[in-house]
Amino acid sequence: MTAHEFVAAACGGPIEGYSEEEKVRKVAWLKAGAQLMRKLAKELGLEKGTYNARINPAGPACSGDIHLHGDWIYVALEQGGIAGQFMWRYCDGQNDYTGHPNRWAYWPELLELEDFANKIKAGRPRG
């Protein structure tokens, strides 16, 4: 699944896993999202060991979710967020699950990863 297909699926109808066909589509969506998160980590300049990109497939009634969690950044991709958006925020380490205020981005921003990464880096709190 390409990045364009991933974003189109995120913005489209529900990603579920009730039928075998839907399960295959859901797995492809989750894998594509994890690949995008690894690319975003690279654009953010994160080094191996300072982040993880993980998938939670969840149950058949939802899309599951994909997370990029680094030492200072947390991105959560799941279908069904606020008006076609996904959540991200700054954090204080990989054990910080509440962190700073939630921020929202539209799915198509993932198609321009360099621009999205620059937006994130520009507002990064220094401490």
What would the pLDDT profile of 25-43 be if each residue is shown by its tens digit?
A: 999 999 999 999 999 999 9
The model's pTM: 0.92
Average pLDDT over residues 66-89: 91
Average pLDDT over residues 46-52: 94
Q: Who wins on pLDDT, 66 or 79? A: 66
Residue ranges per structural domain of the chain: 3-122
Average pLDDT over residues 66-79: 95
Q: Rounded to a whole number, what is the distance in angstroms from the first to the last CA of the chain? A: 38
Burial class (CB in 10 A: 0-12, 13-18, 19+), 39: middle
Question: Predicted confidence band at 127 (pLDDT cuts at 50, 70, 90)?
Answer: low
Question: How far apart are alpha carbons 69 and 52 in whole angstroms?
Answer: 5
Using alpha carbons, select from 101, 79, 91 the residue that is nearest to residue 12: 79
Tell whether the torsion through CA atoms of 109, 111, 112 and 117 is positive or negative. positive
Give the mean pLDDT of the chain. 92
pLDDT at 80: 77
Percent of the chain residues past pLDDT 90, beyond the cut: 78
Using alpha carbons, select from 115, 30, 38 the residue that is nearest to residue 78: 30
